[in-house]
Every structure is written in C-alpha cells, then in structure tokens.
Amino acid sequence: MIKFYSTNLKTAPVPFEEALLKGLAPDKGLFMPETIPVISSRDISAFSDMEYHEIAWDVSRRFLRGQIDNDVLAKITRSAYNYDVPLEHVFENKHVLRLDQGPTASFKDFAARMMARLMQHYLTVEHRKLLILTATSGDTGSAIANAYYGLDHINVVVLFPLDEVSSRQRKQMTTLGKNVRIIGLDAKFDDCQALVKEAFTDPDLDYLGLSSANSINIGRLIPQIVYYFYSFAQLRKGNSDDSVIFSVPSGNFGDMMGGMLARRMGLPIDKFIIACNENDEFPKFLNTGNYAKIDPSINCLSSAMNVGHPSNLSRLVALYGGVMDETGHVSKQPDMEQMRRDIFGVSVTDAETKAMIAEAWAKHELLLEPHGSVGWAGLCRYIEEVGNDPDQLYISLETAHPAKFPEQIQAILGFDPALPPSLEGLEVKEEQYDKLDSSYAAFKSYLQTNYE
C-alpha cells in the first residue's frame, strides 16, 4: 500500500484517504507518494485502445491499490470523465491537447471532478460530512462548485469578489444551486481569501468539518497524470514514436507535476517545457539555482498563471531530491543538473502571448486562448533554440476554451469564438447568490445559520 509523505518531512506518512481529506499535511507540507508505481511499455501500448476513463482508472489504481475497491474506482472515473479529450493536429508531428471540454471548459475539471468523487466515496463509508470552503478569482471556484454539485455528504461555499469576476465566470457558479452556495463580496480577492483562512482556524466552526479542496490536494494531482499517458497513447497509435515532448502552460505547477509523475512512471517524455508568463521565478531558478518568489505577482493576460510562488514547486524539488518549504525556502538543493536535462523553462511576455494567438491562427488555423498561447509559444521557443525535428512527437496543452476569453480573442482575431456546449445557455439561466460585507463576523454567522 502506497503511503503519502509530506514535502516538509516533519510528519509521518499517511494513507491516501487521510491525505485526501486533510489536503495539507500538518507540517504545512504537500503530500507526495512514497513510491511511484511504474507502468511497463507494454501496458502503455495497451492504452492506445482504451477510453479516457479506463486509462484514468488504470493509472490511479496503481497509487490506490488496497485503499479503494477497483470497481468503486471504475465507477468514479467513468462518471468523472464523461466528456471529450480532443487532440488537434497542427503541423508535422505537432499537436495540441485540448483539456477544455469539461463542464467549466477549463483543465481544472479533470482534477476537481475526480477529487470530489473520491472524497464523496470516503465520506459515505465513514458517515462523515464536509463543507468545502473556497475563495476564487474566477476559474477555481467554478471548477470546484461544478465538481461537487449534487454530490452527497458535501456542501460547498464559494466566495468571490463582485468586481473581479467576469459575468460568464460568475454565472458558471451562481446558476447551480442544490448543495452549492455562492457569496459575492464587495471586496478584493485577497479579502475573500482572508475570510476563508480565518474560518479554517476558528474553533467555533470545527463542527462544520471544513476542507479547502484547493489545488495542492493529492486527490487533484493523481488525475493530472492521466492525460499525458492518454495523449501519447492516442498519437502513437500505429506509429513507432518512442518519445514525446510536452509543453505545459504553468502557474501553480499542478499540471506540470502530473506530467513529471507520468515521466517517473515510465512515460517516455524526452523533455518537459514549462511555459510561464511574466511571472518567471521558475525559469530563473532553473537557470541560476537561486529561488526568489515574485511578490506581489505580475498581472498578465493568462490570469490563471499569475503566480509568484507556485505551491507545487516544493513537490518538484522533492522529486529531484531537495527540500523546499511552503515559504519557498530551500533547505536542501535539488539535483539542478538533472532538472535542466529534463526541463526547459521559458517565460513568455504578454506581447508574445498576443502575437502567438494571431500567428497560430494565421499559420495553422489553430485557435488558442492566452494560457494555451503561452504553452505553444514555449514550444516554438524550444524548437528555435534546440532545432526542429519534424518526426519528433510534440504535444502542447491548451488549458481553457477560447470562448472563455471573448474580449481578448475579439481584439486580436476579430471574431467571437463559438461557445462549447457546456457554456451554452448560461446567459438565460437564473442566478442565485448572496452578498455579504467583508467582515468576518458576518461571514461566520452566515455559515452558522446556514449549516447547523
């Protein structure tokens, strides 16, 4: 049975269920698997003929052996992955993996839907309840609210800043109902975050069983391994590709960590391109070996990647034998040489992001939104520096649907991208949300009144 250790190394390893329901380790570190299961190349070849949810089952069961029944897990992956995972051929052997067909049209659906169902399973077995409390500046809140929507044993409260969330983003949360409550605050995102943090440390609210379901949960990391295997297996079908290069637009580094784990599990990833926006603390770290976070983070077009200190970086450092705590302090340097052999780090400016949206459309009729454009620009930069190999398999990840960014696409390309089915009809659905002032007292009494 694989246990999960904390990257801060100050707590004993715990079973998956505990890591999942806790989220953060008691020493504030992130949970990592003690051993990484290896998938043989024969098994990877078999993935070519499997559906996405079957591969999701096969990859996760190797981490969860002895901790969940195989058929329960199969039900979970089947219900979590009931949407398409398209691969778009661009030119030569270069492709874009579109992770934007889930209910909120962002790649966060992949992780959130699986985590939600795993939590529901363990809570049902234990007759426990949980209240997920999360603050959002846009995408995370809707992915979480949608993932937990309608599940048993779990309620969800999402706080958002009234002025900082687009109306489309807001409607993705406020048109749900059932076990999901949404609160708009006349405040900034940081104020919303502060209220959530205070609630977590308030003993009067212990009875609620609060959990954050945030991006560092191990239950979100494991599902993010799957699409790397899936895309390789799909594209290799009938070909002899023996390696792949991925480019990943990165913010908090959860997506990229999924890929790094896939590599350790045996997926032949030749190089990993980590593409950041102007928040370039990682590419600098990779080059110099010195880590300095960017505080406050820089506001870029690819807003979900405006992260001045990626929380999952401590997991990457752990994978390379180092120790980085939650503040970014490195107490043991990872193997930088090996990291540089495996990873190409690149920072893409907003000007380049816009130019790449225009270029990709003009040259290849490839429609990208700002996050995917950073990924594609990273791939182009790599090819420029290292040289192009027309036969090499390259896959760049698109993490959101272009229709989520109508203003930017309109300004650059002169048209409005068509809505994916998941976002259709949102405009006419009835919204329901509460408004509160930003005092903690008001928020606390809201929680106590609505959840007795």
Ligand X SMILES: *Cc1c(COP(=O)(O)O)cnc(C)c1O
Q: Are 316 and 257 in contact (CB under 8 A)?
A: yes
Alpha-carbon distance of 212 to 48, in angstroms, equals 36
Question: For residue 368, how far is the Cα from the chain centroid?
Answer: 18
80 vs 123, which CB is nearer to ligand X?
A: 80
Q: Which of 17, 109, 139, 278 binds ligand X (CB under 6 A)?
A: 139
Q: Does 304 bind ligand X (CB under 6 A)?
A: yes
Q: Does 250 bind ligand X (CB under 6 A)?
A: yes
Closest approach, Cβ 68 to ligand X, in A, equals 24
Q: Does 121 bind ligand X (CB under 6 A)?
A: no
Residue 425 one-letter amino acid: G
Q: Which of 115, 269, 366, 400 binds ligand X (CB under 6 A)?
A: 400
Alpha-carbon distance of 222 to 56, in angstroms, equals 9
Question: For residue 12, how far is the Cα from the chain centroid?
Answer: 26
Q: Which of 137, 142, 175, 252 binds ligand X (CB under 6 A)?
A: 252
Q: Are 174 and 206 in contact (CB under 8 A)?
A: no
Q: Does 77 bind ligand X (CB under 6 A)?
A: no
Edge-to-edge strands of the sheet including 87-91? 87-91, 94-98, 393-398, 244-249, 269-276, 343-347
Alpha-carbon distance of 357 to 380, in angstroms, equals 13
CB atoms within 10 A of CB 363: 10
Stretch that binds ligand X, among 194-202, 239-247, 250-258, 437-445 (CB under 6 A): 250-258
122 vs 376, which CB is nearer to ligand X?
A: 376
- E strand or H helix at 271, and its extent? strand 269-276
Long-range contacts of the stretch 190-194 (C-beta < 8 A, 24+): 191/161, 191/438, 192/135, 192/136, 192/159, 192/160, 192/161, 192/438, 193/135
Stretch that binds ligand X, among 71-79, 159-167, 206-214, 246-254 (CB under 6 A): 246-254
29 vs 138, which CB is nearer to ligand X?
A: 138
Closest approach, Cβ 172 to ligand X, in A, equals 12
Question: For residue 121, how far is the Cα from the chain centroid?
Answer: 21
Site for ligand X in 3-42 (CB under 6 A): none
199 vs 403, which CB is nearer to ligand X?
A: 403
Stretch that binds ligand X, among 29-37, 191-199, 202-210, 247-255 (CB under 6 A): 247-255
Question: Helix 52-64 crosses helix 70-80 at what angle (to 10 degrees)?
Answer: 140
Closest approach, Cβ 400 to ligand X, in A, equals 4
Closest approach, Cβ 250 to ligand X, in A, equals 4
249 vs 322, which CB is nearer to ligand X?
A: 249
Q: Does 271 bind ligand X (CB under 6 A)?
A: no
Q: Are 246 and 260 in contact (CB under 8 A)?
A: no
Stretch that binds ligand X, among 26-34, 152-160, 249-257, 318-326 (CB under 6 A): 249-257
Local structure of 195: helix, strand or coil: helix
Q: Which of 106, 234, 279, 422 binds ligand X (CB under 6 A)?
A: 106
Q: Does 253 bind ligand X (CB under 6 A)?
A: yes
255 vs 280, which CB is nearer to ligand X?
A: 255
Q: Does 246 bind ligand X (CB under 6 A)?
A: no
170 vs 371, which CB is nearer to ligand X?
A: 371
Q: Does 399 bind ligand X (CB under 6 A)?
A: yes
Strand partners, 89: 95
Stretch that binds ligand X, among 22-30, 113-121, 201-209, 244-252 (CB under 6 A): 244-252
Instruction: Please list, in sequence order, all residues whose beta carbon lies within 8 angstroms of the beta carbon of residue 209, skipping any fewer than 6 positions away.
Output: 128, 129, 130, 131
Residue 85 one-letter amino acid: V
Strand partners, 400: 106
Instruction: Please list, in sequence order, all residues whose beta carbon lies within 8 angstroms of the beta carbon of residue 206, skipping any fewer than 6 positions away.
Output: none
271 vs 404, which CB is nearer to ligand X?
A: 404
Q: Does 223 bind ligand X (CB under 6 A)?
A: no
Structure tokens at 249: 């637009």
Instruction: Please list, in sequence order, all residues whose beta carbon lies within 8 angstroms of the beta carbon of residue 396, skipping any fewer than 6 positions away.
Output: 94, 95, 96, 97, 246, 247, 372, 375, 376, 378, 379
How many of the chain's residues bind ligand X (CB under 6 A)?
17
171 vs 371, which CB is nearer to ligand X?
A: 371
Closest approach, Cβ 201 to ligand X, in A, equals 25
Stretch that binds ligand X, among 37-45, 116-124, 176-184, 243-251 (CB under 6 A): 243-251
DSSP conformational letter for 22: H
Alpha-carbon distance of 271 to 343, in angstroms, equals 6
Closest approach, Cβ 252 to ligand X, in A, equals 3
17 vs 100, which CB is nearer to ligand X?
A: 100
Closest approach, Cβ 382 to ligand X, in A, equals 18
Residues at the site binding ligand X, with contacts judged by CB under 6 A: 106, 108, 139, 215, 249-256, 304-305, 371, 399-400
